[in-house]
């Protein structure tokens, strides 16, 4: 009696594993089909915090601020999704020093089209920031000047103060913050972000 109960339980467990493996296999096949068809090429996104530094002991006639510089934070890597015959490559997520949720996607309906780039930046309430979402024909290519696109992010004074406190040195000040979307080899390298 005990053996038949154990056998039945084992068969149920085996059936559940077999079914879950089957559905996982279907999911993988669908993902591979999406990746190999007309999926947009890979791209990456980063947030850049542009800043300068005050020179405390600058003499009259000397520069009182440094050349522009920046700190950077990477967003998660892109993934592919297919919806209604349209292939999308999507980057979604957050960075440590901003209270924003980023959603960047390139959509294509066929290999012959460049597709559409859509960028949205949401605040903690789920509302789009001023100037977002932005939707445009995809301007990105793998080479040249069109390999990256910059989007300036609105940053209020309170947030600037927080970023300065968490990220910058005492004499440094934040000038602006950008979201950079890029697909050149340097941007997609294993060293990203540097």
pLDDT for residue 107:
93
Please state, in angstroms and rounded to a whole number, the distance separating the CA atoms of residues 183 and 39.
14
pLDDT at 104: 98
* Size of the chain, expressed as the number of residues it contains: 194
CA-nearest of 42, 48, 40, 43 to 180 is 48
If you average pLDDT over residues 85-106, what whole number do you get?
94
Task: Decide if 174 contacts 49 (C-beta within 8 A).
Answer: yes
Residues whose CB falls within 8 Å of the CB of residue 176, separated by 6 or more in sequence, listed in order: 50, 152, 153, 155
Domain boundaries, the chain: 37-182
Q: What backbone phi and psi angles, to 5 degrees, belong to 16?
A: -65, -45
Q: What is the secondary structure of 69-83 as a DSSP string?
A: EEEEEEPPPPEEEEE
Instruction: For residue 89, give the nearest of 148, 28, 144, 35 by alpha carbon.
Output: 35
Q: What are the structure tokens assigned to 177, written together?
A: 């913050």
Distance CA 131, CA 184 (A): 26
Name the average pLDDT for the chain: 81
* Six-digit token string for 105: 């996607």
Burial group, residue 111, by CB count within 10 angstroms (0-12, 13-18, 19+) = exposed
User: Using CA atoms in the order 11, 16, 20, 21, what is the torsion angle rounded to 10 degrees?
Assistant: -10
- Terminal alpha carbon distance of the chain: 64
Among candidates 79, 82, 88, which has minimal Cα distance to 44? Answer: 79
At 115-169, the pLDDT tens digits run: 899 999 999 999 999 999 999 999 998 777 788 999 999 999 999 999 989 988 8
In percent, the amount of the chain with pLDDT more than 90 equals: 48
Give the C-alpha separation, 19 to 50, whole Å. Answer: 51
pLDDT number for residue 17: 45
């Amino acid at each position: 009696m005990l053996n038949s109960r154990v056998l039945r339980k084992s068969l149920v467990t085996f059936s559940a594993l077999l079914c879950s493996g089957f559905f996982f296999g279907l999911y993988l096949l669908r993902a591979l089909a999406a990746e190999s068809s007309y999926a947009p090429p890979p791209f990456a996104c980063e947030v850049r915090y542009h800043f300068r530094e005050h020179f405390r002991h600058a003499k009259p006639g000397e520069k009182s601020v440094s050349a522009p510089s920046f700190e950077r934070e990477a967003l998660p890597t892109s993934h592919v999704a297919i919806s209604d015959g349209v292939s999308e490559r999507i980057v979604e997520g957050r960075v440590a020093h901003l209270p924003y949720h980023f959603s960047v996607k390139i959509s294509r309906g066929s290999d012959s089209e460049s597709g559409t780039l859509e960028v949205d930046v949401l605040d903690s309430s789920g509302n789009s920031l001023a100037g977002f979402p932005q939707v445009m024909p995809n301007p990105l290519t793998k080479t040249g000047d069109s390999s990256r696109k910059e989007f300036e992010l609105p940053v209020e004074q309170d947030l600037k103060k927080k970023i300065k406190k968490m990220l910058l040195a005492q004499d440094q000040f934040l000038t602006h913050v950008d979201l950079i979307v890029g697909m050149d080899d340097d941007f997609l390298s294993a060293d990203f972000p540097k």
